[in-house]
Structure 1
Amino acid sequence: MLGTGFALGVGSLLAACGGSQAGVSADPTGPAQRGGNLRVGLTGGGASDSLDAHVPVNTTDIARVVNLYEPLLYRDENFELQPLLATKIEPSTDAKVWTATLREGVKFHDGRPLTGDDVAATFKRITDPDDPKSGAASLGILDEVVVVDEHSVEFRLKSPSAAFDDTLGQYSLGVVPADYDPANPVGTGPFRFKSFTGGQQSVFARNEHYWRENEPYLDELTILNFDDNDALINALLSTQVDAIGQIPLALIEVIDADPRISILNAETGSWIPFTMRVDKAPFDDNRVRQAFRLAVDREQMIQQVFSGQGTVANDLYARYDPGYAADLPQRVQDIPKAKQLLADAGYPDGIDVELVTAPIQSGAVEAAQVFAQQAADAGIRVRIRRVDATEFFGENYLQWDFAQDFYYTRNFLPQVSSSTLKDSPFNETHWDHPEFNKLIEKAVATIDDDERNDLIAQAQTIEYEEGGYIVWGFSNQADAYQRYVAGLVPNRTGLALSGFEFRRVWLGGEK
């Protein structure tokens, strides 16, 4: 990774941002300009970094995947599902067969045309039972992909799914050639592979075969790895990089004070929940779960954990889902009621719990500390056990009685599939509610949007009243870039720098 010699620290950063700066350029205006190399700085990479289309793990992996490969559908900056390599995907009347019409004229980086055979081979690779990729968990319902002709395929499902198109809109489902080799990565994305050194940097060149007219504008894209936020921010201030992703929310005003720098601040549906195992004492008693929820001062959490850069949540995820149960009363801190619920549950003198936390996402450890302070007033005595991220996601992951997790923006049914059903791969609360399960089963098979949204709202009401998550807030996503960088827009997905869509970025003015 980069960063040696550039760790000025927050104190030096404050000094660096104060006063006038030479070489300030105005924001680019006029039509987009072609050419140049965008240098992007990110933290989170390492020696295990990969160019594999279907196993993105950390932030730098995701940035590479988004620019090298493309799925059939994708979520735009407004979190709306949009066509990408498929112009349309339509369900049968029973929602068991989804037919995808492929975009014509699309070529891979090596000039070969995209065909239905490539799509079928891609999903066979992802769902290989001997080597399943990261997107396989969400494709458990998929039976087979049948090639209809050169430009259409059928996704045949084991059971009905009205939201299967939502499942396909994931960056980890990029279409690759039938003979794909991650050592020589070929996709249809706006940039093609040029060089790669894991944990250090990745260089990509403009894809001359790209199907979008005039895009990308850049000649080259370089993604640089940094050890920590200090090194990352100082690289931006010294103009070693043009843009950086995921800056600490507490430093937004500090960095924004430099007239050369612009801040990209986006509301998202990303969340860092507290997770309570509903099958283990004391959280197998819903009165305890509700008491813990009522102990939280959500506004204070947003201010102290996110420096005010976030939105209060109501113990529900999927805030942008059309079926989101927005009419439920906003839960607020109620210490007397929390104490009474604990007493009713057999804890009149309060309760002692261990909260496992780790730096799994910016704000996670801070949220644990603030919760411990707030909950003390309700007689909830929290002993924080801090571990590193490796241990947190190790053999005890999904087994902690009381812990945390992190999720990017998702709609309700895909999130439920991932984390809130008995057989979900990330069911950290061990939630298995018969009435909830029936509603989800029915919603998944319901084609009518209004009817499905009503079922989702009913399911969310059950979670609101009995669930194992404390969802206290949605964090903003903040990035920073030199003012000569153009084309970046706020993005609700939670992914940095416009969802890493560098195809529409261009450079103007003086560096």
Structure 2
Amino acid sequence: MQYLNRRRFMQLSAAVAASGFAPGFARAEGKRGGHLRVGLAGGSSQDTLDQLTYVSDATWIFSSNVRNNLVEIDELNQQVPGLAERWEVSPDATRFSFFIRKGVTFHSGKTLTADDVVASLNIHRGETSQSPAKEEMRDVVDIKADGSRVDVTFSTPNIDFLSLVTTFNFGILPVADGKIDRLTKDGTGPYMLESFEPGQSIILKRNPNYWKPEAGFFDTAEVTFIEDDAARMNAIRTGLVDVVNKVDLKTASVLKRVKGIRVEDIKTEQFNSFAMMIDTAPFNDNNIRLALKYGVNREELVKKILLGYGSIGNDHPVGVTNKFFNSQIQQTEFDADKAKYYLKQAGLTRLDVSLSASDAGFPGAVGSSSLYQSSAAAAGININVVREPNDGFYENVWLKKPFATVFWGKLASVGLQFSQAYLPGATWNETHCNLPQVTELIRTARGIVDETKRGEIYHELQSVIHEQGGSIIPMFTNFVWAVRDNVQHGPNLQNDLTLDGLKCFQRWWFA
């Protein structure tokens, strides 16, 4: 089979543009078989196979399709058995017992054991761990295997641990001589990794021995990274690929009229953000943070950037569709006079700040930043928009520059959403949040099993972060992707990541 590598993609694109010919696509018979071609925005030349560094759509593909987790999220967005066929949680949420599925093999042929699970969990522990979940694993006192059961014991309750092990950093890897090779291609997932060229392509081949027979319909799948919006839209329009993520919203209405293509719009809790490091001047003054929050015209961003494919945000990470959403918090709206008032409280009449922006931060981030610059100017705030390269944005800008564009997908629980972004020791604490009240509330919520009582704390957390945090969250954005008509899927779609939680490779099929 001839794969569509980057050079071949460019050759075909040029040929199509010159001839005006749109190549057709042969329909596969039945639900199994075929070669799925995906045009994906979200890759970087600095991506690796190390799941402790996963921050992009490209690397999340490995976690979702090459590897498996103990607990997984299904198309109904519910926790379901993965490599753990069942689990038990102690009444006080300090001990979690996972009963490991028998008869599972890695792509290499090695049989999955409880020792693989223990070693895979242990890479997230300890002061020297590079895991973004190190903070959540800080209170683990013991991980041990007892036959096919693995027990994880915490010194304090952690109700979010089941959600944590569903995340893309927690794929189970094979252990050899007591060690884990984090760069291994091996896994237990529905697809084997044939090749990986960072920032260019990924090729997957169906695992014939996958333990879950109802998943993995395509024989092979290929991802070509196409960061340019126009090129990606042209690829789906002309039939060079079967699926694209991140439809260019400005041309979505045109794409909808192309015969043989469906544009799908999925409501999510993904949000776009301007993140300020609150331990860095001038953002260490909450008056400055409030001035910047009132300087954003949120309605304008939703209208002009999202073109209606989303909704207004209110500077905390819980979406309006979430059962823990606090509807009592007053919506922050653009108000130049209030922004000026808070500047005055900070002893200023004018503010100059630089905002690092890239469409890798979120689609439309550069345009959003320009609109933000314009609205904030009415309050005496001069925002210098620094356009950063797309490639390497998450390695070189995010978590390094004090004011930057970024997006967050929906995590497996509200507790994780708070702890991974707002605890002082969290790797992804992009705002350098160190507010004592936030830390105390997050840790308290972990220990509350009663959902109603825990929800009250989540409501308070939203209020504090809204009022004092460094996240300017102006909008929640839908997933908008496009598929050719011969690509089919079920009625339900996972909405934490694009393309059905990036499980389109295993859940979708050709008609």
TM-score range relative to shorter protein: 0.7 to 0.9
One-letter amino acid of the counterpart of residue 86, structure 2: K
**How many residues in Structure 1 have an aligned counterpart in Structure 2?**
496
**d(CA) in 1 for partners of 2:391, 2:223:** 24
- Superposition deviation, residue 270 in structure 1: 1.8
Q: Give ranges in structure 1 of 5+ residues lacking alignment.
A: none
Checking the alignment, whether the CA contact within 8 Å between 1:369 and 1:384 is kept in structure 2 is yes
- Superposition deviation, residue 135 in structure 1: 5.0
Offset from partner CA, 1:102-125 (integer Å, 9 cap, x none): 334433334554321221122234
TM-score, structure 1 as length reference = 0.86
Q: Which residue of 2 aligns with 1:69?
A: 67
**d(CA) in 2 for partners of 1:84, 1:389:** 34
Distance 1:505 1:161, change over 3 A: same
Percent sequence identity is 27
Residue 106 of structure 2: which of 105, 108, 121 is its match? 108
Q: Which residue of 2 aligns with 1:503?
A: 506
Distance 1:377 1:491, change over 3 A: farther
Matches within 5 A, 1:112-131: 112-127=110-125
Q: Which residue of 2 aligns with 1:452?
A: 454
Residue 178 of structure 1: which of 155, 171, 175 is its match? 175
- Superposition deviation, residue 126 in structure 1: 4.8
**d(CA) in 1 for partners of 2:369, 2:236:** 30
SS in 2 for 1:458: helix
Matched, 1:297 2:297: yes
**d(CA) in 2 for partners of 1:231, 1:387:** 20
- Superposition deviation, residue 322 in structure 1: 3.6
Checking the alignment, whether the CA contact within 8 Å between 2:260 and 2:485 is kept in structure 1 is yes
- Superposition deviation, residue 280 in structure 1: 4.1
Matched, 1:270 2:285: no
Q: Which residue of 2 aligns with 1:343?
A: 344
One-letter amino acid of the counterpart of residue 417, structure 2: Q
Q: Which residue of 2 aligns with 1:374?
A: 375
Q: Which residue of 1 aligns with 2:438?
A: 436
**d(CA) in 2 for partners of 1:437, 1:130:** 22
Distance 1:291 1:444, change over 3 A: same
- Superposition deviation, residue 68 in structure 1: 0.9
**d(CA) in 2 for partners of 1:391, 1:196:** 17
Offset from partner CA, 1:156-202 (integer Å, 9 cap, x none): 22432111111111122111222365676332211223444555443
CA RMSD of aligned residues (A): 3.2
Q: Which residue of 2 aligns with 1:163?
A: 160
Residue 426 of structure 2: which of 397, 410, 424 is its match? 424
Q: Which residue of 1 aligns with 2:386?
A: 385
Distance 1:120 1:251, change over 3 A: same
Distance 1:32 1:403, change over 3 A: same
Distance 1:352 1:322, change over 3 A: same
Distance 1:466 1:267, change over 3 A: same
Checking the alignment, whether the CA contact within 8 Å between 1:54 and 1:174 is kept in structure 2 is no
Matched, 1:98 2:96: yes
Offset from partner CA, 1:6-58 (integer Å, 9 cap, x none): 667xxx79x979xxx896999x9xx9622222122223445555445554343
**d(CA) in 1 for partners of 2:355, 2:195:** 43
Deviates more, 1:488-497 or 1:471-480: 488-497
SS in 1 for 2:278: coil
SS in 2 for 1:492: coil
Matched, 1:261 2:264: no
One-letter amino acid of the counterpart of residue 249, structure 2: L
**d(CA) in 2 for partners of 1:314, 1:190:** 39
Q: Which residue of 2 aligns with 1:285?
A: 285
Checking the alignment, whether the CA contact within 8 Å between 2:23 and 2:238 is kept in structure 1 is no
Q: Give ranges in structure 2 of 5+ residues lacking alignment.
A: none
**d(CA) in 2 for partners of 1:232, 1:38:** 16
One-letter amino acid of the counterpart of residue 163, structure 1: D
Matched, 1:34 2:32: yes
Checking the alignment, whether the CA contact within 8 Å between 2:398 and 2:406 is kept in structure 1 is no
Distance 1:219 1:316, change over 3 A: same
Q: Which residue of 2 aligns with 1:82?
A: 80
TM-score, structure 2 as length reference = 0.86
Offset from partner CA, 1:399-425 (integer Å, 9 cap, x none): 544333322212332122222122222
Matches within 5 A, 1:310-329: 310-319=310-319, 321-329=322-330
**d(CA) in 1 for partners of 2:464, 2:270:** 21
Matches within 5 A, 1:244-255: 244-255=244-255
Checking the alignment, whether the CA contact within 8 Å between 1:39 and 1:241 is kept in structure 2 is yes
One-letter amino acid of the counterpart of residue 426, structure 1: W
Distance 1:215 1:435, change over 3 A: closer
**d(CA) in 2 for partners of 1:243, 1:188:** 25
**d(CA) in 2 for partners of 1:205, 1:62:** 17
**d(CA) in 1 for partners of 2:392, 2:203:** 32
Distance 1:16 1:285, change over 3 A: farther
Distance 1:204 1:424, change over 3 A: closer
One-letter amino acid of the counterpart of residue 262, structure 1: R
**d(CA) in 1 for partners of 2:183, 2:401:** 37
Q: Which residue of 2 aligns with 1:4?
A: 10
